[in-house]
């Protein structure tokens, strides 16, 4: 789900394109404001002390999410960093997601900031909800008191709703490392899979210098923490000299019953429907927008 900039043409656009499966994302995206994170474009596999490889773990994790018939989760993303003037900020994004195959869902996005983070009004522009009853997807922006309806695709994958799943790499990539460290999340033992940058081949000397400088910005490379028992993805984190990002997936429920009314949109009092004008023949379509909130990761220049 993505919200358009504040334009007269429209306020919202539909979901990102589906991936064939979790784990095919190419690298890690950059998160906004002053925190620019370099990341690997190629990753490698390393065997674990417990006998399972990173590839095994990521494949089992992918199967859990791609085979889910229904799913509920609260995703909390916390970003810390400094603005261009050097003043610290935090931005917390909270997402609630309900999903039922093949294409029914409800996703809400809210943000809050402290310190030198964008003001409350600016954060409100990046908040909203999207519903799908299986026939129509309705996107609602509370700050505008406007909603827009579009046909929903016949199939919607979890990776289109849970942004973090689109960042999960393939275990076969060079640079993926299964760390031997012991750790727990919420009292549950986890595997720690780290994305270690590997310099692409055939870079020019100046590009190699820039890449190396980007890698040196990391205090901790991006890590995915995967439950050792059920292969649920529980946490993502990274840290650089400019800031840090942490994503928690809490209260995950697979296969539970979800009331049908959660997927139905009822226009709030005072809200209005927005209908995008038909573009002229050969003209551009609806312009794209940035995803709500701030998303960790990135590819070094």
282: in domain: no
The answer, yes or no, to whether residue 6 has pLDDT greater than 90, is no
Instruction: Round to whole Å and give the CA distance between 273 and 293.
Output: 24
Each residue of 121-144: pLDDT tens digit? 888 888 999 999 999 999 999 999
In a domain, 283, yes or no: no
pLDDT of 258 over the 60 cut:
yes
Instruction: Name residues whose C-beta falls within 8 Å of residue 51's C-beta, 6 or more positions apart in sequence.
Output: none
Residue 36 or residue 16, greater confidence? 16
Q: What is the tens place of the pLDDT at every residue in 52-62?
A: 899 999 999 99
User: Domain tally for the chain?
Assistant: 1
Q: What is the CATH number of the domain that holds 59?
A: 2.50.20.10
61 within domain boundaries: yes
Count of C-beta atoms within a 10 Å radius of residue 120: 10
Q: Over the stretch 194-214, which tens digit does the pLDDT of each residue have?
A: 999 999 999 999 999 999 999
* 19 in a structural domain: yes
The reported pLDDT for the residue numbered 131 is: 97
Q: Which domain holds residue 162?
A: 2-266
Looking at the domain assignment, is residue 257 inside a domain? yes
């Amino acid at each position: 789900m993505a919200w358009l900039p504040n334009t007269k043409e429209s306020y919202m656009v539909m979901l990102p394109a589906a991936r064939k499966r979790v784990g095919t994302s190419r690298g890690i995206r950059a998160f906004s404001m002053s925190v620019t994170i370099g990341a690997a474009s190629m990753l490698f596999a390393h065997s674990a002390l417990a006998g399972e490889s990173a590839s095994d773990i990521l494949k089992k994790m992918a199967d859990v999410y791609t085979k889910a018939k229904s799913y509920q989760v609260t995703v909390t993303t916390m970003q810390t960093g400094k603005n261009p003037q050097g003043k610290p900020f935090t931005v917390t994004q909270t997402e609630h997601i309900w999903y039922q195959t093949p294409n029914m869902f409800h996703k809400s996005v809210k943000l809050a900031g402290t310190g030198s983070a964008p003001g409350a009004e600016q954060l409100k522009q990046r908040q909203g909800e999207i519903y799908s009853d299986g026939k129509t997807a309705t996107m609602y922006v509370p700050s505008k008191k406007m909603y827009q309806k579009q046909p929903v695709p016949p199939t919607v994958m979890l990776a289109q709703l849970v942004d973090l799943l689109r960042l999960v790499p393939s275990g076969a990539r060079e640079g993926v490392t299964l760390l031997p460290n012991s750790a727990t999340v919420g009292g549950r033992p986890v595997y720690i899979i780290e994305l270690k940058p590997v310099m692409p081949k055939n870079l020019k000397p100046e590009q190699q210098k820039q890449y190396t400088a980007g890698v040196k910005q990391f205090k901790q490379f991006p890590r995915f923490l995967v439950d050792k028992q059920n292969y649920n993805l529980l946490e993502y984190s990274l840290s650089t000299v400019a800031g840090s990002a942490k994503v928690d997936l809490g209260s995950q429920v697979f296969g539970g019953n979800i009331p049908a009314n959660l997927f139905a949109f009822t226009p709030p009092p005072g809200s209005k429907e927005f209908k995008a004008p038909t573009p002229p023949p050969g003209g551009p379509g609806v312009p794209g927008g940035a995803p709500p909130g701030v998303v960790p990761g990135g590819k070094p220049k």
